[in-house]
Structure 1
Amino acid sequence: MDEPETDHLPEASLEGARVALLSWYREDHRSFPWRETTDPYEVLVSEVMSQQTQLSRVVEAWREFIERWPTAADLADADRAAVVGFWTDHSLGYNNRAKYLHEAARQVTEEFDGQFPSEPAALQELMGVGPYTANAVASFAFNNGEAVVDTNVKRVLYRAFGVPDSDTAFETAANRLMPTGESRDWNNAVMELGGVACGQTPRCDEAGCPWREWCQAYATGDFTAPDVPEQPAFEGSRRQMRGRVLGALREHGELELDDLGPLVRVDYVPDGTYGREWLRELVEDLADDGLVSLEERKTSTVARLRR
Structure 2
Amino acid sequence: MSERLPELAADADPDAVREALVSWYEADHRAFPWRRTDDPYRILVSEVMSQQTQLSRVEQAYADFLDRWPAVDDLAAADRGDVVAFWSDHSLGYNNRAKYLHEAAGQVVSEYDGEFPESPDELQELMGVGPYTANAVASFAFNAGDAVVDTNVKRVLHRAFGVPDDDAAFEEAATFLMPEGESRVWNNAVMELGGVACGGTPRCDEAGCPWRRWCHAYETGDFTAPDVPEQPSFEGSRRQFRGRVVGTLGEHDALALSELGPRVRVDYGGDTGEEWLRGLLSDLADDGLVELAERDGETVATLRR
Q: Fold conserved (TM > 0.5)?
A: yes
**Which residue is 2:281 aligned to?**
284
Deviations 1:180-227 (A, max 9, x none): 121111111111111111110111111111111111111111111111
| Contact kept? 1:152, 1:199, Cα under 8 Å | yes
Instruction: Give the letter for the 2:174 counterpart.
Output: A
Deviations 1:126-169 (A, max 9, x none): 00001000000000000111111111111111111111111111
Structure 1 residue runs of 5 or longer lacking an equivalent are 249-255, 262-268
SS for the counterpart of 2:5 is helix
* Cα distance, 1:271 vs structure 2: 11
Q: Distance in 2 between matches of 1:142 and 1:244?
A: 47
| Contact kept? 1:156, 1:193, Cα under 8 Å | yes
**Which residue is 1:86 aligned to?**
86
Instruction: Give the letter for the 1:7 counterpart.
Output: P
Identity %: 65
* Cα distance, 1:15 vs structure 2: 1.5
Instruction: Give the letter for the 2:282 counterpart.
Output: D
1:273 counterpart = 2:263: yes
| Contact kept? 1:157, 1:163, Cα under 8 Å | yes
1:204 counterpart = 2:191: no
What pairs up with 1:222-237 in 2 under 5 angstroms? 222-235=222-235, 237=237
What pairs up with 1:190-269 in 2 under 5 angstroms? 190-235=190-235, 237-242=237-242, 257-258=250-251
**Which residue is 1:155 aligned to?**
155
| Contact kept? 1:123, 1:129, Cα under 8 Å | yes
1:23 counterpart = 2:13: no
**Which residue is 1:180 aligned to?**
180
Query: How many residue pairs end up in the alignment?
Result: 284
SS for the counterpart of 2:180 is coil
Q: Distance in 2 between matches of 1:81 and 1:291?
A: 59
Structure 2 residue runs of 5 or longer lacking an equivalent are 269-273, 294-299
* Cα distance, 1:14 vs structure 2: 1.9
| Contact kept? 2:213, 2:287, Cα under 8 Å | no
| Contact kept? 2:76, 2:109, Cα under 8 Å | yes
* Cα distance, 1:240 vs structure 2: 3.6
**Which residue is 1:7 aligned to?**
6
Inter-CA distance 109–30: structure 2 relative to 1 (3 Å threshold): same
RMSD of aligned alpha carbons: 3.1
SS for the counterpart of 1:125 is coil
Q: Distance in 1 between matches of 2:69 and 2:11?
A: 46
TM-score (norm 2): 0.83
TM-score (norm 1): 0.83
Inter-CA distance 109–271: structure 2 relative to 1 (3 Å threshold): closer
